[in-house]
Amino acid sequence: MRTRPVSVARALSAGVFAALACGHALAEPISFDAAWERVRVVSDKLGAAQAAVESSNLKSKAVQGLGGPVISLSAAALAYNANLSVDLDPVNRRLTQVEQHLPVPLQNLPIPLPLPQLPSRYTFNQHDTLTTSTVSAVWPIYAGGIGNATRGFVKAQGYEAQAELSQAAHELASQLAQRYFGAQLALKAADLRQAAFKDIEQHDAAAEKMLKAGVISRVERLQARTALEEARRNAAKARSDADLTSAALARMLKSAAPVTPGTPLFAITQPLDPVDHYIQIALRNHPGLEKVAARKAQALSLHEGDEALRRPQVFAFGQSELKTSDATWVAGVGVRWTLFDSLDRKALSAASLEKVRQAELTDAQARSDIALLVEKNWRAAEQARVNFVSLGPSAELAQELLKLRSAGSREGTSTMLELIDAEINLSKVQTERAQSAYEYVVALAGLLESCGLSDEMPQYIARADVRID
């Protein structure tokens, strides 16, 4: 499923978003297409998946320049105090030796000179403050391919995030179909139960008059009253169920007001395309396969990175003091090649290749599982379609039986209980047919999800030749 970014969707739907946020706006029936557009805007699940995609895209952008030059500036301000202690005893002894070798001792000179004596130790002290600043540059000329491996790995992570976004969108579409048409089914059942209750209520009033006229027995009268109370309970329960499903749909659409679905339950009575048609589409479109392919690409990039670390690295470098004159600088070209370290590089390379093999086997298993899932969903949709079509004659029979019992009641050939039973039976058959249509829609949504075709649900709705209005 091609899912628009959340930010774009919010911008495109700003006007509709404001209208739908109002309670009275969502009180009007909302079509399935409009509900889907709404969910794509407000869904936290899609928003989180989209955020992951944006994060991966930004990471990919961040590492595009990996392997280029790195220039750094460093500066320091410092103060120092240096002390140096010097032992002068050896110097004193040497002076004494020198005096002994003189022709005339210094003491015998006309003007006697005393032999100078230095202190036994002397300490020099130096303290000052200074500042220094340098600019350095390193440019990898050849790094064994580690840059390309890193970029490939981050890019593959982006593909995986995109696949997860697509999968989340498909799952959300199926969930919406279940809640939307589940609410439609509940409303239909509530309307049918309420209509049956109203009809039986009229029959109950007529039965009361007939009892007073002596036309029916008290037992028949009690049977009519029992049928009325049962219809009342069923109608109340159906209405409660409808309110609950409407609330669930409203929560999914993040609406404070109840939501009324406007697209009716439907069915396509013609058989679906052959199962192989859907399997082939699924093997091209299923986001699960895209996720497996992304993980295989990540494994290949990791293997390339491991191999790159075993190759020599060539780089240029330079450094210079920041002075107007007499700056000290250095520049050159270096080579670095790790001949031995504590890691077993061969084992790491073999491990990364096993990751690639794991991804390949996972892909094969995923294709088998997806094909089986598509066939399962296709058979479920076809079975639901057959069940729906088979209930058509039952609905017609129930309609005709009600007409017959109504005419018989007027002519006195049918009892009041038979008429009530016909009313109940018609409501039951119509509810079963709506339930069958709901099962068909949910199975169809599951089939489209497993094929990666959830966006085509509106086309199937348009192709429907039966709608439960």
CATH of the domain at 450: 1.20.1600.10
Indicate if 209 and 92 belong to the same structural domain. no
Q: What whole-number distance in Å separates Cα of residue 423 and Cα of residue 327?
A: 104
pLDDT tens digit sequence for 188-232:
999 988 988 888 888 888 888 888 888 778 888 888 889 889 889
Task: Looking at the structure, tell me whether residues 403 and 279 fall in a common domain.
Answer: yes
- What confidence category does residue 427 fall into, taking pLDDT thresholds of 50, 70 and 90? confident
Of 392, 390, 384, the residue nearest 443 (C-alpha): 384
Q: Which residue has the higher pLDDT, 256 or 35?
A: 35
Per residue in 115-162, pLDDT (tens digit) is 666 677 778 788 889 888 999 999 999 888 888 999 999 999 999 999
Give a yes or no: residue 417 inside a domain.
Answer: yes
What's the confidence (pLDDT) of residue 372? 96
254 & 207 share domain: yes
Mean pLDDT of 452-467: 93
Domain-embedded: residue 324:
no
Whether 364 is covered by a domain: the verdict is: yes
Phi–psi pair at 81, nearest 5 degrees: -135, 115
**118 and 213 belong to one structural domain:** no
Please check whether residues 153 and 214 belong to one and the same domain: yes
Determine what percent of the chain is predicted with pLDDT higher than 90: 49
- Worst-scoring range by mean pLDDT, 31-35, 71-75, 125-129, 331-335? 125-129
Q: Decide if 318 is inside a domain.
A: no
Q: Are 21 and 122 contained in the same domain?
A: no
Q: Whose structure tokens read 């075993």? A: 310
Domain that holds residue 86: 70-140
Q: 121 and 215 share a domain?
A: no
Chain segment 247-287, per-residue pLDDT in tens = 999 999 998 888 889 999 999 999 999 999 999 999 999 99
| Confidence (pLDDT) at 130 | 83
Does residue 121 sit within a domain?
A: yes
Same structural domain, 82 and 58: no
What pLDDT does residue 97 have? 67
Place of tokens 């109950």: 204
Terminal-residue alpha carbon distance, the chain: 30
What is the gyration radius of the CA atoms in the chain, in angstroms? 44
The chain-wide mean pLDDT, for the chain, equals: 85
Least confident of 50-59, 362-371, 414-423: 414-423
Residue 123 is assigned to a structural domain of this protein: yes
CA–CA separation, 348 and 464 (whole Å): 57
Instruction: Look at residue 197 and tell me if it is in a domain.
Output: yes
Backbone dihedral angles phi then psi of residue 435, each to the nearest 5 degrees: -60, -40
Let me know whether 62 and 157 are in one domain: yes
Q: Give the separation between CA 78 and CA 270, rounded to whole angstroms.
A: 87
| Residue where a domain terminates, one of 124, 140, 156 | 140
Q: What domain count does the chain have? A: 2
Residues 117, 92: contact at Cβ < 8 Å? Answer: yes
Q: Is residue 339 domain-resident?
A: no
**pLDDT for position 413:** 74
Q: Does residue 464 sit in the same domain as residue 386?
A: yes
Last residue of a domain, one of 140, 159, 194: 140
**Distance in angstroms (rounded) separating the CA atoms of residues 102 and 105:** 6
Query: Would you say residue 104 has pLDDT above 70?
Result: no
Please indicate whether residue 411 or residue 195 has the higher confidence score (pLDDT).
Answer: 195
Which SS3 state, helix, strand or coil, does residue 271 take? coil
Distance of alpha carbon 313 from alpha carbon 335, whole angstroms: 6
pLDDT value at 13 more than 80? no
pLDDT of the residue at 20: 40
- Residue 105's pLDDT is 61
Confidence band for 27, pLDDT divided at 50, 70 and 90: low
Secondary structure string (H, E, C) spanning 114-162: CCCCCCCEEEEEEEEEEEEEEEEEEEEEECCCHHHHHHHHHHHHHHHHH
Among 105, 140, 175, where does a domain finish? Answer: 140
**Given this model, what pLDDT does residue 15 score?**
39
Q: For residues 439 and 356, state if they share a domain.
A: yes
Are residues 44 and 168 in contact, defined by beta-carbon separation less than 8 angstroms? Answer: no
402: closest CA among 187, 192, 184, 221?
192
The answer on 269 and 212 residing in a single domain is yes
With cut-offs at 50, 70 and 90, classify the pLDDT of residue 310: confident
Q: pTM (2 decimals)? A: 0.76
Q: What angle do CA 325, 328, 330 make, to 5 degrees?
A: 135
Predicted confidence band at 8 (pLDDT cuts at 50, 70, 90)?
very low
